Chains A and B, each alone.
Chain A
Amino acid sequence: MVSNLWKGVFVFKGKKRRAKLEDYLDAEDGLNNRLQTCEELLERIQEKFQLMQSELNTKLFEEVIHYVTGAHEDFSLEPSPVANSKYCEIPTAALVTGVNTPDHDGIFSNLVSMIHKQLISNIAVLKSKDCPTLKAIMNTTISQIMDNVDMFSDEEDEDEAVSVINHRVCSTMPVLASWYREKCRVKQQSPRKRKADGSPKKTSKHTSTKSHVIVVFEDLESFIPSVLQDFITICSHYLQDIPFVFIFGIATAVTAVHRLLPQHVSSLLCMEKFQAPPSSDCLAQVIHQIVMPADFPFKLGGRVFHLLVDMFLYHDFSVLKFIQSFQFALLDHFYSDPVSIMTVPETDLKSQVRKLSLSQLDHLRSLPSFRRFVEKQPAAAQIKLLEDTKYTTNCVTEQLEALYDYSNCVQPILSCIHSFVHKLPGHPLGHKMREIYGLLLNQNICDTPEYKEAMQMLRALSKDEMIGKLDQCIIFIIRSTSADLLTDVRDELEHFKDKYDNIEKLMQQEETKEELGKKSSPEKRTSFGGKMDLFQLKQTLQELDKSKKKKLTVYEVIRQDTIDYLDAIFRRYLISPTVLPLHEVMYYNRVSAIKPCINGVPRSNLENGLTNPGYYLLREDLISDALTILPTLPDVCIAYKLHNECGRLINLYDWLQAFMMIVKSAEVDENEPEIRKPDKLIQARFIRAVSELQFLGFIKPTKRKTDHVARLTWGAC
Chain B
Amino acid sequence: MPPTLLIRRWLVFVNGKMALAKRTQGNVNDLLDTLCNTVPCRTQQIESILTLVGEAQYVVVNCIECYNCRLMFEHILNSLSNTSPAPSNNFASYARCDNVNDFVRLFHQVIEEEKLSAETVYLIFENAERLRDREVTLLPTLLRFQELSACNVTVILESEIVWEKFRAGTGSVEPYIIFFPNYSKAELVKILLMECPKNCKPGLYENYINLLLSVFYHVCQSLTELRHLAVLNFPKFFEPVKKEEAAEDDIRKLWRNVEPHLKKALQTVYLREVSSAQWERMQEESIEHGTSISVHGTSSHLDLELPFFSKYLLIAAYLASYNPAKSDKRFFAKHAGKINKKTQIARQKTQNERIIRSLFFVGESFIHHPDVSVKMLVKLTLLFEAAHRHLKILMTQRLEYGPSTALPCSLLLLQVCQTKSVTIQKSYP
A interface with B by C-beta (< 8 Å):
83, 85, 88, 91, 94, 98-99, 101, 134-135, 165, 168-170, 172-175, 178-179, 182, 230, 233-234, 237, 251-255, 257-259, 263, 266-267, 269-273, 275, 278, 280, 313-317, 600-604, 648, 712, 714
Is B86 in contact with A178, judged by CB distance below 8 angstroms? yes
Nearest first, the 6 A-B pairs at minimum CB distance are A601-B371, A169-B91, A314-B308, A272-B275, A178-B86, A603-B374
Q: Mark B217-236, 1 if CB is under 8 A from A, else 0.
A: 00000101101100000000
**B contacts with A, residue count (CB < 8 A):** 59
Q: A601 to B303: give the CA distance in the assembly, Å.
A: 31
Q: Which of B62, B78, B373 contacts A603 (CB 8 A)?
A: B373
B15 interface residue, CB < 8 Å from A? yes
Q: A316 to B311: give the CA distance in the assembly, Å.
A: 11
* Segment at the interface with A among B21-29, B64-72, B141-149: B64-72
Q: What residues on A are CB-neighbors of B70 within 8 Å? A: 170
Is A259 in contact with B92, judged by CB distance below 8 angstroms? no
Q: What residues on B are CB-neighbors of A278 within 8 Å? A: 305
Q: What residues on B are CB-neighbors of A255 within 8 Å? A: 299
* Segment at the interface with A among B163-171, B178-186, B379-387: B379-387
Q: What residues on A are CB-neighbors of B307 within 8 Å? A: 99, 313-317
Q: What residues on B are CB-neighbors of A270 within 8 Å? A: 272, 275-276
Q: What residues on A are CB-neighbors of B370 within 8 Å? A: 601, 603-604
B102 interface residue, CB < 8 Å from A? no
> In chain B, what residue has the closest Cβ to A94?
B273
Q: What residues on B are CB-neighbors of A602 within 8 Å? A: 371, 374-375
Q: What residues on A are CB-neighbors of B290 within 8 Å? A: none
Q: A259 to B387: give the CA distance in the assembly, Å.
A: 13
Q: Mark B74-117, 1 if CB is under 8 A from A, else 0.
A: 11001000001111101111000000000000000000000000
How near does chain B come to A707, taking the closest CB pair, in angstroms?
Answer: 20
Q: What are some 18 contacts across the A-B interface (CB < 8 A)?
A: A85-B195, A94-B273, A99-B305, A165-B90, A170-B70, A237-B62, A251-B382, A253-B299, A267-B272, A270-B276, A271-B272, A272-B274, A272-B278, A314-B308, A316-B307, A602-B371, A602-B375, A603-B374
Is B85 in contact with A169, judged by CB distance below 8 angstroms? yes
Is B227 in contact with A85, judged by CB distance below 8 angstroms? yes
Q: Mark B286-322, 1 if CB is under 8 A from A, else 0.
A: 0000000000001100111111111000000000000
How near does chain A come to B185, taking the closest CB pair, in angstroms?
Answer: 20
How near does chain B come to A431, taking the closest CB pair, in angstroms?
Answer: 15
B271 interface residue, CB < 8 Å from A? yes
Q: A182 to B379: give the CA distance in the assembly, Å.
A: 47
> In chain A, what residue has the closest Cβ to B388?
A221
B interface with A by C-beta (< 8 Å):
14-15, 62, 64-65, 67-68, 70-71, 74-75, 78, 84-88, 90-93, 195, 222, 224-225, 227-228, 270-278, 298-299, 302-310, 347, 350, 353, 370-371, 373-375, 379, 382, 384-385
Is B65 in contact with A234, judged by CB distance below 8 angstroms? yes
Is B304 in contact with A99, judged by CB distance below 8 angstroms? yes
> In chain A, what residue has the closest Cβ to B372?
A603
Is B64 in contact with A234, judged by CB distance below 8 angstroms? yes
Q: A551 to B196: give the CA distance in the assembly, Å.
A: 77
> In chain A, what residue has the closest Cβ to B127?
A233
Q: What residues on A are CB-neighbors of B195 within 8 Å? A: 85
Q: What residues on A are CB-neighbors of B74 within 8 Å? A: 170
Q: Which of A178, A233, A252, A604 contacts B85 (CB 8 A)?
A: A178
Is A254 in contact with B71, judged by CB distance below 8 angstroms? no
Is B299 in contact with A254, judged by CB distance below 8 angstroms? yes
> In chain B, what residue has the closest Cβ to A70?
B277
Q: What residues on A are CB-neighbors of B275 within 8 Å? A: 91, 270-272
How near does chain A come to B62, taking the closest CB pair, in angstroms?
Answer: 6
Q: A237 to B62: give the CA distance in the assembly, Å.
A: 9
Q: Which of B14, B91, B384 contacts A88 (CB 8 A)?
A: B14
Q: Which of A173, A271, A275 contacts B274 (CB 8 A)?
A: A271
Q: What residues on A are CB-neighbors of B92 within 8 Å? A: 168-169
Is B91 in contact with A252, judged by CB distance below 8 angstroms? no
Q: A175 to B75: give the CA distance in the assembly, Å.
A: 11
Q: A492 to B402: give the CA distance in the assembly, Å.
A: 69
Q: A165 to B310: give the CA distance in the assembly, Å.
A: 46
Q: What residues on B are CB-neighbors of A317 within 8 Å? A: 305, 307
> In chain B, what residue has the closest Cβ to A138?
B67
Q: A91 to B274: give the CA distance in the assembly, Å.
A: 11
Is B93 in contact with A170, judged by CB distance below 8 angstroms? yes
Q: What residues on A are CB-neighbors of B304 within 8 Å? A: 98-99, 252-253
Q: A179 to B275: give the CA distance in the assembly, Å.
A: 30
Is B382 in contact with A101, judged by CB distance below 8 angstroms? yes
Q: Which of B228, B271, B382, B384 contacts A258 (CB 8 A)?
A: B271
Instruction: Known A273-B298, A601-B370; judge A182-B86 contact (CB<8 A).
Output: yes
Is A269 in contact with B299, judged by CB distance below 8 angstroms? no
Q: A230 to B64: give the CA distance in the assembly, Å.
A: 6
